[in-house]
Structure 1
Amino acid sequence: MHDLARKQRPCLTLLAALVMTLPPAYAGDIAASQAQQSSPSTSQELKALLDADLDKVLRAMPDLATAQGIPGYNHLLPDLSATALETQQQYERSTLIRLQALDASQLQGQEKLSYELLRNKMEQAVAAQRFAYRHALVLSSLGGIQNMMPRQAQLTAFRSANDYQDYLARLRGIPKLVEQTMARLELGRDSGWMRTTPVVDRIVAAIDAHMVSQPDDSVVFGPFKRYPATVSGAQRQALADEARQLILSHYQPALQKLKTYLQTEYRPKAPAEAGLAALPGGLDYYNHLIRSEIAEGMSAAEIHTLGQQQVARLRQEIAAVARQTGFKGSTDQFVRKLGRDPRYFFKSSDAVLAAYRAMSQRVDPQLGKLFHALPRTPYAIRSMTAAEASSSTAANYAAGSLVLGTSGLFTINALGYQTEPTWRVESLFLHEAVPGHHMQIARAAEIEGLHPWRRVGGWNVAYGEGWALYAEKLGYAMGLYKDPYQHYGHLQAELFRAARLVVDTGIHAYKWPRTKAVDYMVRQGGLTQDFAESEVDRYFSNPSQALGYMIGQRKLMELRQRAEQALGDKFDIRDFHAVVLDGRRMPLQLLERKVDSWIAQGGGKA
C-alpha cells in the first residue's frame, strides 16, 4: 500500500470498524436517554432537539451558516474524520429515541410539523447507517473540496477584519480536510465503492482550474483585493500578506496533494463506469435513496417506466412546436438544429448576463398574481468562475441573507456562452430565480414564528427541485413561452428532466454503461455530446439526485389539481402556493398530508 495510506491507517481502522458494524441495538443510547433528568414539557423538549440538530447541521455545513449570517461557524470547515462520523451516528440514534418518547399529541400547528420533519430525518438517517461504505463516495462533480474555497470567496459577506480572519482560518484548515478526504477515499479503494474515472478527471480538472503561480491571481485571493471601510490600512496589508502565504503554503499544496493521490493511487483502481447496482449492497442503497429523498412507495422500475413515457409525450409536443416554426424535418433534426446551430447560442458572456438580467423586468411585476408574499431578499445574476465551470456547467442558485443584506445568487455559465442556448432563457430564469429557487428559499427563510431549524435545517431534493421545475410551468400564467423557440426551451427542459429518470435509474438499477447513458441523453434528451457526458458523470456521482425534479413537479401538479377540484370557486392559486412554500422544504409525503389538511379545512389563506 502507498505511504499515504499507511499514514492514514489509524483513521482508516476506525472507519473500517464503523463500516463493519451495522447500527447496534440501541441499548447504550437508551440507557443514556434514561439517565437524563426528568423531561421538560413536550414543546421545550422539541425545541431543545431542534436547537441541537440545527447546530449539527451548521457544523456539518458551516458554509451554510456563513451564507445565512449565522455567527459562530464562519471559521469552520466540515469534519470528515471517523471520530466525527461515529459521534454523528450516535447522535442520530439517541435523537430518534428521544423523539419516539415524545408525546406528539401535545403538539399543534407548526410545532407538530417540525416534530414530524425532524423524526422523519432521524428515521432516514438511522436507516442509512447500514450503508456505511457510502461515506467513501466523498467527492462529487457537483462540488466539494475542489471548489469549496473559490465558492466561499464569492459568497462570504466580508464586513470586518474578523470575517477575513475566519476566512483565513478556513484556508489553514484545508490540509486537514484533504487528509480526511483521502482517508475516506482510501476506504473506497479497499471496498470498491469508488467514483468512476470520468468523475475523477472532472474533479482533477476543477483543481487545476484555479491553481496559480502568483497568489494574487487566485480566485481565493479575491476578497483581499477589496475591503470595507471597517478594515484599516494596516490590517489590510497584514491580512493580504497572510492570505498570500496560506495560498502558497497550505491551500494549493494540499489540493496538489489530493490531485496527486487521485491520479496516482485512486484513479488506477477506479472503475470506468459503475453505478450503485454494481457495488456490493449498492442497489439496496439506491432504493433507500429513492424512499428517503425522492418519494415513498416508488420503485426504480416505476420511475424508469415513467421517464420513458414522459420522454415520448414531450417529444410529441416538441414535434408540434417544430411544425409551428415551419420546420419540415423530423423531431430529431429540429432538436439537433436548435442544439448545434450557432444562431441559437449567445455571442458573448455579457450577452448571456444581459439576457437573464432583463428577465427580472418581465417576471417580477407579475409575481403578485401568484403569491401573497414576496421575499424581501433580492437576487442577483453572476457568472461562474473557470473552476466552477470545469467541474459542472449546470446553472445553480445560492441563498442570500436578509440579516447580512446579501443577495441570492443565480449563477450561469456565462464564460461558456458558446454553449448557452438563447432559447432556454425563460425557463431557466424561472427555475433558478423567481418564482423558482429564490422565491422558495428566500421566502421560507423570512417566515416569522418558525424555529430557525425550519429555515436552514435541511434540504429535500424532490421538494426543492420539484418546486423549481413546477415554477417553470408558471411561465404560462405570466404570458411567457409565446415565442415558439422559448416554448421549445420550456419543453426541452422538461424533456431533459424526463430523460434523467430513465438514465439515472438505468445507471444505478440496471447497470447501464456510460456510453449507453450518454447516447440516450443525446438521442432522446436532445443534449449535445459534451453536455450529455457532463450530465451523465453528474448522475454517476450523485445517485438519485436527478430524479427529484420531475417526481417533485408531478406531485405538486397533482396536489394543485386535487385542490382545484375539491375547492372549486374557493381555490386561489396564491393560497395554494402559500401552503406549499410557507412551511419550508419537506418530504413529499409530508407535503401531501399538509395540503390535504388544508383542503379538508376548506382552503383559504394559510
Structure 2
Amino acid sequence: MPEALQNFSRRQTIAALGTGAAALALGGCVRTGTAIASAPSPQPALAERANALLGSIADNLLAHSPEGATSLGIDTGARAAMRGKLADRSASGQKAIADTLAADLKRVRAFDKTGLDHSTRTSLAVVESAYDVALDGFALPYGDVAVGGWRNTPYVVIQNVGAYLDTPRFLDSDHPIRNSADAEAYLARLTAYAAILDGETGRLKDAAGKGLFAPAFLIEKAIKQMEQSLAGARQGGGLAESITRRTKALGIAGNWSDRATQILRDLVAPALERQLAELKAQLPKANMDAGMWARPRGDEFYAWALRASTTTRMAPEEVHQMGLDELRTLHGRMDPILKSLGYTQGSVGERMNALAKDPRFKFSEGDAGRAEIMAFIQEWLGKIRAEMPRAFRTLVRGNLEVKRLPPEEEPGAPGAYGGAGSIDGSIPGKFWINLRTTDLHSKFSLPDLTFHEAIPGHVWQGEYANQMPLIRTMLAFNAYSEGWALYAEQLADELGLYDDYQVGRLGYLQSLAFRACRLVVDTGLHAKRWTREQGVKFFVEENGSNALEVASEVDRYCSWPGQACGYKVGHSEIVRQRGLAQAALGSRYDLRDFNDTVVRGGNVPLDVLAKNVAEYVAGAKT
C-alpha cells in the first residue's frame, strides 16, 4: 500500500464511521459537529468590502459566460438579458476575458486582507490562484484557457472541443424553456451560434498561420463529427426538434419549429460549412505526432498545462514516475482478488483483459443492453445514497439526471462525465453516459464510474460548491475536482458497497490503476515523445483496459494536455491530508467532519486544501 493508504486503513475508516451516528444532520446545509475552526467575525465594514469585491469579480467573469449564468440558474433579474446570448469565442472575446482577469487580479492583490476570516481569505486566495494561472495560459499562442476550470486545450476546435459540440448540448439540456420568452431566447442563441462558430474559425486560421496544427488523427475525428452536425443542421435536425418538443409539451404557442429550422439552414449550416472547410484544409498540413513536444512552444505549454491541472509544480518526469509507482502498488492489491475469481495465470493486465470478456460481467448488445446499463446505474445510485449519512455530517440533495451523450459526440468522448446542476436546483446535475456501444462498460466497472461522476463524486461535490459565494461556484480546480471524484470511489469501497461484490472492488482498484496509467501515458505522449499507439498499448497491456475506451482516452490526452494528471495527484493529496488529520486528532477524529471540511471548504488548489484541513484540525483539538 502507498504510505497514505497505510495511515488510514479500511478498518479504521469503518470504525470512524460509527462515531456519534445519532447526531447526523439529515437535512441539507445544517451544520452540527466540528469542521473548519471558527474564527472571529471580521469587522463588518471590512467583511462588507471583501464580499462586494468578490461579488463584482463574479459579475465581471460571468459577463463573459452567458451559458454559465443559465446553467447556474442565475440569468434572471438584472442578468435576464444573458438568457439569449452565448460566450464570444473569437480572438477579441479571448482578449476581453484576459483583460478582465488582469484588472481583477490587480484588485485582489491590492486589497488589505488583515482581519478577514478564514473563509473570506480562502475565497480571495482562490481567485488569485485561478486568475494568475489562467493569465499565464493566455500569454501562450494557443486555444482555450479554462479560467478556474479543467478543459485547457491548445486546439480551438477538435474532436472534443468546440461550439459545434458544446452549444447543441447546452441548448438541449441546460437552456430552460418554460414560456415564450424562454423560447425566444433559445432562438436568439441559435442565431448567435453561427457567429460563435465563425469566431472559432477565425482563431483556427490564426493558429494555422503560426504553424499550430492538431494531430492529423484528431482532425480526422473532428471532421467526421462535424459532418454529422452539418447534416443535422441542413435538415433542421436536433436543435429544431428540441424546441418543438418542449414548447409543445407546455402548450407554448408559436411557429417554433419552422423558425428554428430556418435559422439552422440559413445561418448555422453555412457557418459549420466554413469551419469544416478550414479543418479539411488543415488536415494535409498536420502530422501524426501525438504530443505537445511536436508543436511550437509545446514544452512550454505542457509545463503550464501540468501546473494548471495539478495545482503543483511537479515536473513531467516526477509525474511519470509517480504513475509507475502507484500502478505497481495497486496491481499488488488486485492480484489476490483476481485469484479468488479464478484468474490465476498471467499479469494483472492480461487477467483483467480476460475478465472483460467474461460473459457474467458483460451487458447485452444494442438497445437492450443500453437499457440494462441505465437500470444498473440507478440500482447502484440507490445503494450509495443510503450510505451518505455515514460519510457526511451535512447532506445535500444529490439532484441528478442520468442521460446518454448525444450520438454525434460519442465517438470523441470519454466513457462518461458528470457535474452539478443549477444553484436553485431547477436544472439537475448530469451524469452523461457514452452508449455508442455497450462494450464500453462492464458490470464490474460501472458501479465505480457511477460513484465517480454522480454520488458522492462530481454531482454531489458540486452541490456543496453551489452553496458558496458565486465566484467560488464558478471557479474549479482540476486536481481538487477529479481528486475528489477518485476519493468518492474510495469512500464507496470503505462504506462496504463491495463487501458482497468482490468483482466491483476489483473494478474500483482498476479505476485507480487506470488513473495511475494516465500519469504515465499523458507525460509519455507530451514529454517523452510516445506515439498514440504506445499510449493505447500501455493501458491495454499494463492495466487490462478496454481497447475501445482507451483509444478515445488517449486521443483526449492529446487534445487536453495535462488534464488527465490531475486525478491521481489530487486523490493522493486528499488521502494524505486525511491521514494527517486522523493522526493529529486520534479519538477526536470523525470521518464525517473531515469530509465536510473538504467539500464545504470549496473547490480549491491543493495548497489551500492543506490550509483548510489544518484549520479543521486546530479547531477540533480545542
TM-score normalized by the length of structure 1: 0.87
Distance 1:97 1:444, change over 3 A: closer
Cα displacement (A) at 1:219: 5.0
Picking from 495, 499, 502, the partner of 1:484 is 502
**In the alignment, does 2:334 pair up with 1:324?**
no
Cα displacement (A) at 1:202: 2.2
Picking from 112, 116, 123, the partner of 1:107 is 116
Which shows bigger deviation, 542-551 or 240-249? 240-249
Distance 1:52 1:282, change over 3 A: farther
Which shows bigger deviation, 217-226 or 198-207? 217-226
Question: Which residue of structure 2 lines up, in the alignment, with residue 98 of structure 1?
Answer: 107
Picking from 395, 405, 419, the partner of 2:416 is 395
Query: What secondary structure, in the 3-state scheme, does the structure 2 residue paired with 1:475 have?
Result: helix
Question: Which residue of structure 1 lines up, in the alignment, with residue 208 of structure 2?
Answer: 189
- Measured against aligned partners, the alpha-carbon deviations of 1:133-170 in whole angstroms (never above 9, x if no partner) come to 34562124334312123312123222111211111112
Distance 1:425 1:86, change over 3 A: closer
Question: Which residue of structure 1 lines up, in the alignment, with residue 69 of structure 2?
Answer: 65
> Using the alignment, how far apart are the partners of 1:272 and 1:163 within structure 2?
45
The letter of the residue matching 1:461 is N
Question: Which residue of structure 1 lines up, in the alignment, with residue 150 of structure 2?
Answer: none
Question: Which residue of structure 1 lines up, in the alignment, with residue 285 of structure 2?
Answer: 269
- Measured against aligned partners, the alpha-carbon deviations of 1:342-392 in whole angstroms (never above 9, x if no partner) come to 543211110000000111221111100111122235212122220221221
Cα displacement (A) at 1:215: 4.0
> Using the alignment, how far apart are the partners of 2:293 and 2:621 within structure 1?
44
Question: Which residue of structure 1 lines up, in the alignment, with residue 327 of structure 2?
Answer: 311
Picking from 496, 514, 524, the partner of 1:496 is 514
The letter of the residue matching 1:97 is K
**In the alignment, does 2:354 pair up with 1:345?**
no
Question: Which residue of structure 2 lines up, in the alignment, with residue 4 of structure 1?
Answer: none
The letter of the residue matching 2:400 is Y
Distance 1:224 1:102, change over 3 A: same
The letter of the residue matching 1:58 is L
**In the alignment, does 2:443 pair up with 1:422?**
yes
Query: What secondary structure, in the 3-state scheme, does the structure 1 residue paired with 2:479 have?
Result: helix
> Using the alignment, how far apart are the partners of 2:95 and 2:167 within structure 1?
26
Contact kept in structure 2, 1:332 and 1:523, CA below 8 Å: yes
> Using the alignment, how far apart are the partners of 2:420 and 2:448 within structure 1?
20
> Using the alignment, how far apart are the partners of 1:59 and 1:402 within structure 2?
17
Which shows bigger deviation, 547-556 or 195-204? 195-204
Question: Which residue of structure 2 lines up, in the alignment, with residue 36 of structure 1?
Answer: none
Q: How does 1:196-595 map to 2 (within 5 A)?
A: 196-210=215-229, 211-212=231-232, 215=235, 217-219=237-239, 221-227=241-247, 232-233=252-253, 235=254, 238-263=255-280, 265-330=281-346, 331-347=348-364, 348-376=369-397, 378-403=399-424, 405-445=426-466, 447=467, 450-455=468-473, 457-482=474-499, 483-595=501-613
Task: Tell me which stretches of 4 or more aligned residues in structure 1 moved more than 6 Å.
Answer: none
> Using the alignment, how far apart are the partners of 2:491 and 2:398 within structure 1?
21
Cα displacement (A) at 1:485: 1.6
Contact kept in structure 2, 1:209 and 1:386, CA below 8 Å: no
Contact kept in structure 1, 2:233 and 2:269, CA below 8 Å: no
Cα displacement (A) at 1:434: 0.8
- Measured against aligned partners, the alpha-carbon deviations of 1:28-84 in whole angstroms (never above 9, x if no partner) come to xxxxxxxxxxxx965455434423332343344332221211113222222122323
> Using the alignment, how far apart are the partners of 1:284 and 1:232 within structure 2?
53
Identity of aligned residues (%): 27
**In the alignment, does 2:186 pair up with 1:170?**
no
> Using the alignment, how far apart are the partners of 1:146 and 1:241 within structure 2?
21
> Using the alignment, how far apart are the partners of 2:529 and 2:63 within structure 1?
36
Cα displacement (A) at 1:432: 0.9
Cα displacement (A) at 1:318: 2.1
Contact kept in structure 1, 2:362 and 2:439, CA below 8 Å: yes
> Using the alignment, how far apart are the partners of 2:214 and 2:191 within structure 1?
27
Distance 1:271 1:459, change over 3 A: farther
Question: Which residue of structure 1 lines up, in the alignment, with residue 14 of structure 2?
Answer: none
- Measured against aligned partners, the alpha-carbon deviations of 1:323-357 in whole angstroms (never above 9, x if no partner) come to 11122321333111123445432111100000001
Contact kept in structure 1, 2:311 and 2:477, CA below 8 Å: no
Query: What secondary structure, in the 3-state scheme, does the structure 2 residue paired with 1:414 have?
Result: coil
Q: How does 1:28-39 map to 2 (within 5 A)?
A: none
Picking from 55, 58, 78, the partner of 1:54 is 58
Contact kept in structure 2, 1:199 and 1:537, CA below 8 Å: yes
Distance 1:216 1:254, change over 3 A: closer
The letter of the residue matching 1:249 is D
Picking from 80, 86, 94, the partner of 1:85 is 94
> Using the alignment, how far apart are the partners of 2:141 and 2:616 within structure 1?
39
Contact kept in structure 2, 1:133 and 1:191, CA below 8 Å: no
Gaps of 5+ in 1: 1-39
Query: What secondary structure, in the 3-state scheme, does the structure 2 residue paired with 1:105 have?
Result: coil
Please report the RMSD computed on the Cα atoms of aligned residues, expressed in angstroms.
2.2
Distance 1:479 1:259, change over 3 A: same
- Measured against aligned partners, the alpha-carbon deviations of 1:232-266 in whole angstroms (never above 9, x if no partner) come to 33x2xx22221111122222332232122211x11
- Measured against aligned partners, the alpha-carbon deviations of 1:386-424 in whole angstroms (never above 9, x if no partner) come to 022122142011322252523211111234223321111
> Using the alignment, how far apart are the partners of 1:121 and 1:183 within structure 2?
27
Gaps of 5+ in 2: 1-43, 145-153
Cα displacement (A) at 1:586: 0.8
Contact kept in structure 2, 1:401 and 1:408, CA below 8 Å: yes
Query: What secondary structure, in the 3-state scheme, does the structure 1 residue paired with 2:85 have?
Result: coil
Contact kept in structure 2, 1:157 and 1:404, CA below 8 Å: no
Distance 1:231 1:546, change over 3 A: same
> Using the alignment, how far apart are the partners of 1:145 and 1:197 within structure 2?
20
Contact kept in structure 2, 1:77 and 1:173, CA below 8 Å: yes
Cα displacement (A) at 1:116: 0.9
The letter of the residue matching 2:320 is H
Distance 1:495 1:132, change over 3 A: same
Cα displacement (A) at 1:505: 0.7
> Using the alignment, how far apart are the partners of 2:441 and 2:594 within structure 1?
34
Contact kept in structure 2, 1:552 and 1:588, CA below 8 Å: yes
Query: What secondary structure, in the 3-state scheme, does the structure 2 residue paired with 1:193 have?
Result: coil
Contact kept in structure 2, 1:158 and 1:164, CA below 8 Å: yes
Query: What secondary structure, in the 3-state scheme, does the structure 1 residue paired with 2:561 have?
Result: coil
Q: How many residues align?
A: 557
> Using the alignment, how far apart are the partners of 1:422 and 1:345 within structure 2?
6
Higher relative contact order (CA 8 A, sep 6+): 2
Which shows bigger deviation, 593-602 or 535-544? 593-602
